[in-house]
Amino acid sequence: MEAMEPTIPSVLERQRQFLAGGAAREISYRRRALERLAEAVRRHEAAIIEAMRQDFRKPEFETYATEIGFLLSEIRHALKHLDEWSRPVKVKTPVTHFGSASYIHSEPFGVVLVIAPWNYPVNLSLGPVIGAIAAGNCVVLKPSELTPHTSEVVAELCRDAFEPEHVCVVQGDAETSQALLRERFDYIFFTGSTRIGQLVMEAAAKQLTPVTLELGGKSPCLVHGDAQLELSAKRIAWGKFLNAGQTCVAPDYLFVQRGVKPKLLEALARHAAELYGADVLRDGSRFAGIVSEGHYARLTGLLAATRGRIVYGGSGDAEARVLAPTIVDEVGWDDPLMEDELFGPILPVVVYDELEEALAMIRSRPKPLALYVFTESDAVQRRVTDTVSFGGGCVNDTIMHIASPYLPFGGVGASGIGSYHGKASFDLFSHRKSVLRQTSRFDIPFRYPNAKNALQWMKRFLK
């Protein structure tokens, strides 16, 4: 007789019992768990690469760079700093609290739910798990059903690395996510679309559960007239067409100063071909596919409806779910390509004449997850980064800000709530508990209402 899969309530009960035992909070246990995770990632490297090839033709180079290598780097960083992050932090104590000392303790929230997306199905599943277990939590991980082969490898990897009462993977479709959200968790971490993020936040509000939402939006890429066009084009083409554009921080549209547009577009097309291949429909060694038929149909439908002019790419293979890197010029703000986040290898191009005109248009739209500006002018760099609100970004580059463990990654407004990576991950999954340690060797009497001249002493002291 086959063993039955544990129910969601039983999984949670088992994790709460494990938390109560205290092992997950021990620094030595957290360290061993992170080390086992790194070992499991290495052991499953070939399986990860093959699973992602099966799910959406992701090239081996991209899989290692953006999934495997990224995770191993995050784990190394956490292991290096875990002792430092975990120590109580002594802070100043005001003179009114004479005789006492003040500390901030980082304690785990408890049982954390991580709901992961499909576009980077290993990185965005296990990346948050690193921070959660470093902070001493237990984790229930729900990977995406749109990448079934990779999700199964993630589940196997977690079974290999963790006790199930510490980290447990629950697979399933949207109904499974809904069932999980009906349970009481101590923290919820969600990566995905703004629409689903709203539903997650609504469900969390019923339990007063804190949430982190890593969402998206239309991230602008602004190229000013003084930019180094060749290098700018290469870095934009790389960042936009990485993972076939299915990256939450990919440049969603190109905002270029009118005078340099012809040269920039010519360089973009050339670098796209050099980086990813001139015929990606037949050669998939460097270029990923689209994750599902539905996503492919949405993207080709947008291309068919655009009022812009395709100046590069535009071809596709529906059976293989591959859409070539595509650049669309002469796009207006009311074009279908400019309505929602594209999440695919389509780059609409909009022009501006004056910088303030461009900034006003960007500020008029929802706050993006990322922003990129290419310029050699310090004044323009400061003007853009100081006056536009966005989650994070780069000056004269794309994507690379998310690869630094020293830079918190997250959105603002419609693009998300909360940030992680590096120490920010540890802090995100930790409650900062304030503790005042008071002396018992003496007692200051004037704080008590029965002390002689208590009010006068209180007024004098607090001044």
Point out the residues that are catalytic: 214, 248
CA atoms 368, 322, 197, 152: torsion sign:
negative
CB atoms within 10 A of CB 354: 10
CA separation, residue 295 to residues 106, 244, 253, 321 (Å): 42, 12, 18, 9
The pair of three-digit structure tokens given for residue 237, joined into one six-digit string: 């083409």
User: Distance (Å, rounded) from C-alpha 166 to C-alpha 171?
Assistant: 16
Residue 342 · residue 308 · CB < 8 Å:
no
User: Distance (Å, rounded) from C-alpha 361 to C-alpha 438?
Assistant: 55
Closest C-alpha among 247, 252, 306, 243 to residue 276: 243
Q: Where are the beta strands (DSSP E) in 166-317?
A: 167-169, 187-191, 211-214, 220-223, 253-257, 309-312, 316-317
User: Distance (Å, rounded) from C-alpha 103 to C-alpha 82?
Assistant: 18
The DSSP-derived string for 384-453 is HHHHS--SEEEES-SSGGGG-TTS-EE--GGGEE-EESTHHHHHHTEEEEEEEEE-SS---GGGSTTSTT
The DSSP-derived string for 308-361 is SEEEE---EETTTTEE--EEEES--TTSGGGTS---SSEEEEEEESSHHHHHHH
Rounded to a whole number of angstroms, the CA Rg of the chain reads 25
CA separation, residue 21 to residues 87, 266, 441 (Å): 21, 62, 35
User: Distance (Å, rounded) from C-alpha 13 to C-alpha 149?
Assistant: 28
Q: Cα 197 vs. chain centroid, distance in angstroms?
A: 13
Q: Is 31 helix (H, G, I), strand (E, B) or coil?
A: helix
CA triplet 122, 125, 131: central angle to 5 degrees?
Answer: 120
Residue with tokens 């947008």: 302
The DSSP-derived string for 176-201 is HHHHHHTS--SEEEEES-HHHHHHHH
Residue with tokens 């544990």: 6
User: Distance (Å, rounded) from C-alpha 16 to C-alpha 83?
Assistant: 24
